[in-house]
Each structure stands twice: as C-alpha cells, then as structure tokens.
C-alpha cells in the first residue's frame, strides 16, 4: 500500500514537471516573457546618485530593524554589500569604465523564479501583479531557495532561534494592493526607479536608448536573463563616459554589465529548467528499474535452477551407472560363487555407497 501511494506521488511529480516544461515550451524560446502585463520596476543606473533614500524607505515601510550606520552615511556604498534578511535592498558603488555608477540590488522578482522552483514546501509563488511572494508559515528553513537564487538575494534569519525565516524584498505587495507605489520607488528623488507594466517598461527602456544615443548599453538586464525578471536594469555605456576615460581604462569598455556586478551568464531560460531533465527521469527510473532488476533476479534464479537441474541429472546418471556396475558385478559373483556370496557382496557394496554419499553431502553442500 505504501508502495502504491509512493508510486502515485512519484508519478505525479513527473507529470507536474512535464507540465512545467510544457508551459515553457508553449512560451517558446523567443516569446519572453510570460506575465508581460505584470508590474515591474526599471532601474536606470545612469540616474542613480547613491543617496540610499530607497534603502531608508524600504527599512521604514517594512519595519525592518535599524542598521548600525545611519542611512545618511554614504560611504557604506563603497563596499559591495549583498541583500540580506534585514536589508531587502542595498545600493552599491561600482566603477564602470573608471566612472562611479550606483546600482540598487533587491529581489528581481523573476518571471519563473529559481527560488520557487527549488522550494520543496511551495513557499514561493509568482503573483500576477509581478511580485514573487514568500509564505513564511510553511517554510521548513532548508535554505535551498537561497542556493537556487542566481542573484544571491534571499537572506535567512540565522540569529533567530525559534522562528527563523527567509526574507527578501516583497515588492511591497501590501502597498501595491492599496494602489500605492513600493516604498523605494516612492522615495527615489532622481526618478531612477520607474514602476509600471513590464511591457511598458521595456518600451520605455528602448525609447530612452533611442533618445540618448551612446548613453546606454544596448541591453535591458532582466529582459530575458534567467528567463526574464520583473525588475530590470539599464547600464551606462562607454560612450557617455568615453571623454573621461584614461588609456588604462580603455580595455574595460564593452563589459559594462559585468563591471556593474550583473551576471550576464545566466542564460535566457528559467533556472528551474535545468532540473526538469533530472526530474523527468524519475518516472522512467521508477518504471524501468524494477523491470531491470527483476529481470536480473529472474536470470540469476534461472541460472541457479538450471545449474541445479544439471547437477541432479548428473547425479542421477552416476547413480544409475553405479547401480548397473554393481548389478553386473553381483551377477558375476553369483555365476562363479553362488547366490549366498552374491547377497553378501550386494549388501556390502550398497552400504559402502551409502556411507560415501552421506560423506559427500557433508562436504559438498557448504562449498
């Protein structure tokens, strides 16, 4: 009974993963992204001045603990910080072609999030409004979601003894539902963060590039990276900064994205797809292995049986041979020495044979 339930579950696991693949296949390689009508945010790093107002706002609207250094201290941007359990967004300073550029980090709210695909307790869900929602009440705290997130976003409350949770930017869903903007977007004084429908944001990004030739790298980070993300980034191009370039910086031009700390090697399909193959193999193994090993078992059983039959046959033959020989010998004795001697001889020979047989049994079986 246990076995049957298990197989059903395994089977459905396979089917579900197959469905997942089917959904992606339907979307096709070039029709990114699904959830085109969901909300997103475009971060234009050419406008960002590193004032940390978004960090402060995020801290406030989400009631996070106050950091040790105040938000007015701008030097913290110099060290490359990561988002964490109590800092859902951080602004870092990067050198792009020798120039200072600031970038805000937070959960990218992926279209088909790695964290959601990885969580074995279904804590993450992509909501139609664009947010990747985390349900802490069913979280086991295994932190596989953190292993999976290609952007190193989620943080874990390691200091919490009894109810440690995974924490990350929520897209300020409660505010969105009230029809308000996310805290960080509201707070940005430079319009570096633009909130809107994802499809609109992509159009806006292209328009900015077209209107300002040479200002931007011709790439919207997050449009397709890791399967597409709701939050996207524009990076300054060498063109705008070229004047300030020293010859030493020149070789750096061209990989601005990398200098901005953005990973451009994530590929264009959702990270979860990388595991669908392995999961898809599950029903195969469940179906095939028992057959394979059952077959191997049958073969070895059959081999054993055949071996035994052969042995029995040989033994029988040998026994018949011996019986015939004994008979012949006894007949001879009867002819030459009379029936009395023949009887004695037969008895003696049978006894000797029996004794040998039992002896053989003792030695033979064990080997």
Partner 1 sequence: MSHHSIVIPTKDKLFNLGEFFRPTPGNILTAVILTVGLIITIIRFTMGIGSVTNLSNTQPWGLWIGFDLLCGVALAAGGYFTTVACYVMGMKQFHSAVRPAITTAFLGYGFVVVALLYDLGHPLRLPFMFFFPGTTSVLFEVGLCVATYVTVLLIEFSVAPLEWLSSKYPVLIKWRKLVVHATIVLTIFGVTLSTLHQSSLGALYLIAPEKLHPLWYSPFMPMFFFVSSMAAGSSMVIFEGMFAHKGLHHYMDETHLREADGVVFSFARAASFILFAYFMLKLIDMLVQANLPYVFSGYGAWWLVEMLGFVLLPALLYAKGARDRNLTLCRIASANTVLGIVMNRFNVSMIAFNYNLPSAERYFPSIWEFCISIFVVTMIVTAYRFIIYHMPVLYEHPDFKDEH
Whole-angstrom distance, CA of residue 15 vs CA of residue 8: 10
Distance of CA 57 to the CA centre of its chain: 34
Give the whole-angstrom CA distance, residue 351 versus residue 367.
26
Q: Is 61:225 a contact under the CB 8 Å cutoff?
A: no
Q: Is 32 a binder of ligand SF4 (CB under 6 A)?
A: no
Minimum separation from the CB atom of position 108 to ligand SF4 (A): 4
Taking the least distance from each CB to partner 1, the nearer of 86 and 196 is 86
Binding characters for partner 1, 207-246, by CB under 8 A (x = yes): ----------------------------------------
The 3-class secondary structure across 249-302, one letter per residue, is: CHHHCCCHHHHCCCCCCCCCCCCCHHHHHHHHHHHHHHHHHHHHHHHHHHHHHH
- C-alpha closest to that of 116 among 152, 88, 145, 75: 145
Angle of CA points 270, 114, 118, to nearest 5°: 125
Beta carbon of residue 264, minimum distance to ligand SF4 (angstroms, whole number)? 15
Does 82 bind partner 1 (CB under 8 A)? Our answer is yes
CA distance 146 to 141: 10
According to the binding rule CB under 8 A, does residue 337 interact with partner 1?
no
- Residue 216 token pair: 């931007």
Residue 102 contact, options partner 1, ligand SF4, none, Cβ 5-8 Å cut-off depending on partner type: none
Contact predicate 187/228, CB 8 Å: no
Number of residues that bind ligand SF4 (CB under 6 A): 39
* Angle of the 273-337 helix axis to the 339-364 helix axis, nearest 10: 160
Q: Which of 170, 194, 224, 235 binds ligand SF4 (CB under 6 A)?
A: 170
In the complex with ligand SF4, the residue whose CB is nearer, 173 or 200, is: 173
Q: Is 118 in the site for ligand SF4 (CB under 6 A)?
A: yes
Among 106, 117, 224, 229, binds partner 1 (CB under 8 A): 117
Residues 151-210, interacting with partner 1 (CB under 8 A) = 152, 154-161, 163-165
Query: In angstroms, what is the minimal distance from the CB of 77 to ligand SF4?
Result: 16
What phi, psi does 220 have (nearest 5°)? -95, 110
Contact partner at residue 263 from ligand SF4, partner 1, none, CB < 5 to 8 Å by partner kind: partner 1
Rg (Cα) of the chain, in Å, rounded? 39
| x/- track of binding to ligand SF4 for residues 143-162 (CB under 6 A) | xxx---x-x-xx--------
- Give the integer Cα–Cα distance in Å for 187 and 21: 40
Q: Which of 8, 16, 95, 314 binds partner 1 (CB under 8 A)?
A: 16
238 in contact with ligand SF4 (CB under 6 A) = no
Which parts of this chain interact with ligand SF4 (CB under 6 A)? 57-58, 61-62, 88-89, 106-110, 113-115, 118-119, 121, 123, 132, 139-145, 149, 151, 153-154, 166, 168-172, 182-184
């Amino acid at each position: 009974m246990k076995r049957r339930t298990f197989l059903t579950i395994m089977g459905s696991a396979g089917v579900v993963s197959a469905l997942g693949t089917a959904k992606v296949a339907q979307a096709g390689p070039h029709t990114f992204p699904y959830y085109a009508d969901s909300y997103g945010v475009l971060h234009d790093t050419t406008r960002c001045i590193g004032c940390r107002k978004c960090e402060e706002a995020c801290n406030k609207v989400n009631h996070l603990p106050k950091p040790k250094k105040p938000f007015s201290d701008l030097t913290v941007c110099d060290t490359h910080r990561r988002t964490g359990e109590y800092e859902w967004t951080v602004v870092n300073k990067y050198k792009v072609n020798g120039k200072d550029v600031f970038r805000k980090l937070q959960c990218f709210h992926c279209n088909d999030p790695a964290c959601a695909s990885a969580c074995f307790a279904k804590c993450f869900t992509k909501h139609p409004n664009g947010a990747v929602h985390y349900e802490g009440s069913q979280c086991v705290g295994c932190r596989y979601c953190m292993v999976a997130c290609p952007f190193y976003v989620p943080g874990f409350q390691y200091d919490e003894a009894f109810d440690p949770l995974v924490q990350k930017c929520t897209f300020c869903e409660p505010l969105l539902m009230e029809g308000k903007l996310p805290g960080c977007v509201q707070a940005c004084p430079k319009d570096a963060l633009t909130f809107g429908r994802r499809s609109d944001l992509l159009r806006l990004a292209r328009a900015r590039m077209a209107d300002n030739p040479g200002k931007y790298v011709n790439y919207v980070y997050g449009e397709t990276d890791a399967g597409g993300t709701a939050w996207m980034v524009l990076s300054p191009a060498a063109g705008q900064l070229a004047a300030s370039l020293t010859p030493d910086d020149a070789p750096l031009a061209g990989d601005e994205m990398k200098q901005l700390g953005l990973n451009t090697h994530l590929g264009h399909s959702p990270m979860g797809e990388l595991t669908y193959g392995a999961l898809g193999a599950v029903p195969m193994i469940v179906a095939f292995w028992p057959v394979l090993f059952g077959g191997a078992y049958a073969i070895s059983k059959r081999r054993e049986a055949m071996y035994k039959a052969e042995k029995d046959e040989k033994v029988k033959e040998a026994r018949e041979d011996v019986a015939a020989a004994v008979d012949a010998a006894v007949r001879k004795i009867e002819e030459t020495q009379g029936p009395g001697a023949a009887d004695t001889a037969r008895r003696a020979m049978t006894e000797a044979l029996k004794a040998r047989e039992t002896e053989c049994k003792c030695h033979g079986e064990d080997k």
